[in-house]
A and B are shown apart, each in its own frame.
Chain A
């Protein structure tokens, strides 16, 4: 398309905005007709939506149930522990963000900062939280952004081994977070049926995300192994899991796991579901990782082996760093599906976000408020998934800056 002559001359003369619009949407009569139809449809839909959102919708249902949707029936006197957990999370998240981006503030980061600030200022007020709670949220966001910029400034002086092991911090955060949520070790115990709403959604999703990685990696290695028995075992597992709908596996977990384990050893409903999610996600993660492994040329392994590296060293220092980089977009795609899949827990009676929302809607006081509740939930999920997608793209950019995938 671009000839060499194109490169010598500066390309096109400046088009006026109007001209650009004409070319983009009204290039010929048919195009213009389509555009006009689309514009009127979009405007009509937007007008209806706006009218509904501002005039008809009764948003009181959200404000009245915001705590229930966020935490389930987590007891009031113990909620300070969740605040503590939030401070911990915002600390680690701020530091990670800063270390990832260093001192640069790309457009996406500015956008994310703006959205975050806007949400913090608006959302707690919108659901009519007391001023103290609102201020708490402001503090959390300020702390996160402060750490992001200061970690970004210091990132260059952080020794590389710390950066390499940084990801291992997240399991530690999860375990200590679960300690705070569940109690024990001197803290009052909060039994799992009291966890609910967004809190339970995140507990389940994060558990599965953290555990499905090592499991998926083992399966992917098994599936690409030269040993036929290991390969067949991995294939059987992966294909069985991928052939079954998640709901039937969750159903199996709730109804059969108790029969499979010796009496009393079976975990409670929440952890049973978390394990099923893990087992389910690991099969998909394994496929993503296998594609990454397959993308690494054989010569890389041969070079490593002929330098004297053993199998484990070859894997950890040569193959995996490259394979994970290739698999990253697919992996994040799986994490996004996993987050969405947690909604299926409501079908087996767990009170995660969607389950809690359905109990709210079943309450005669809020009958018929389906649209309001589902729209808010959709926005919440959409933001989480979009954030995951943006984060993965940032990580990809960072990794690609090293120009670092082997050329076949």
Chain B
């Protein structure tokens, strides 16, 4: 399901990123990645390979010491205002959903647009209801997150990010905490999102999703990017020995 990228505009460019944890562990080793507008990139790799860390550097949840990351023309540096600007433009979906349990589903969606973008509450609510309809849970708008199933919560979390109208969406293992029967409903929403032209970087173990939706697959191990390839090539004919090893382990 490859598609033409809108004039090959670069949405995310990471160059020579190095991260050391406070305990001295070298978590990211000189990683590079370029993501074009409208592209879906899936990052795979064994646990502890640094893929989540890499994803979290894209909106400043994780620090990096050397290298550069430019998102939509904004450089993630030491300037706090630019960090805030990037976080407004980049949506993130977490493994544990991280919905705000003290707010209703609707308030979860409207909180950030009202506070951060200063938009009128009624207008945001209308948009939020539309988004909830799109992910198929508008009946639950006035419930609290604790009253929803895991799959429903994750769809709310996706809608919450979308409500900020992000230019780039990051997914950090969005289906890993779900019961098996709920995985599909979340992947369905993500697939529709991709079809709508959203730029996405997804860390996941879902091979079928990667095959069907990804434009490119990235394999990471031990903090390094070892292979970047189109999914059909990656899954049928992996080049790097670690890729072959990884694929044989998950199949």
Contacts and interface: CB of A to CB of B under 8 A. Distances in A.
Nearest to A406: B101
B116 A307 contact: yes
Interface stretch (A175-183, A267-275, A296-304): A296-304
Nearest to A302: B61
A404 B104 CA distance: 10
Interface string A301-328: 0111111111001000110011001000
A309 B87 CA distance: 8
25 contacts: A297-B98, A303-B100, A303-B157, A304-B112, A305-B60, A305-B61, A306-B61, A306-B90, A306-B91, A306-B92, A307-B112, A307-B164, A308-B84, A308-B112, A308-B116, A308-B117, A313-B115, A321-B102, A322-B102, A403-B146, A403-B147, A404-B101, A404-B144, A406-B101, A407-B101
B111 interface: yes
Interface residues of B, number: 28
Interface in A356-408: 402-407
Contacts of A402: 102, 144
Interface of A: 297, 299-300, 302-310, 313, 317-318, 321-322, 325, 402-407
Contacts, number: 73
Contacts of B157: 303
Contacts of A300: 98, 100
B94 interface: yes
Given A317-B115, A402-B144, A306 B102 contact: no
Interface string B106-119: 00000110011100
B146 A303 contact: no
B96 interface: yes
Contacts of A403: 101, 144, 146-147
A305 B94 CA distance: 13
A145 B101 CA distance: 34
Contacts of A321: 102
Given A403-B144, A404-B146, A318 B100 contact: yes
Given A322-B101, A402-B144, A404-B102, A307 B111 contact: yes
A31 B244 CA distance: 72
B161 interface: yes
Interface in B51-84: 59-61, 84
A404 B108 CA distance: 13
10 closest residue pairs by CB, A with B: A303-B98, A307-B112, A299-B98, A306-B92, A308-B88, A403-B146, A308-B116, A404-B102, A308-B87, A406-B101
A306 B101 CA distance: 17
Contacts of B155: none
B160 interface: yes
B59 A306 contact: yes
A309 B164 CA distance: 11
Nearest to B83: A305
Nearest to B170: A306
Contacts of B101: 322, 403-407
A321 B111 CA distance: 14
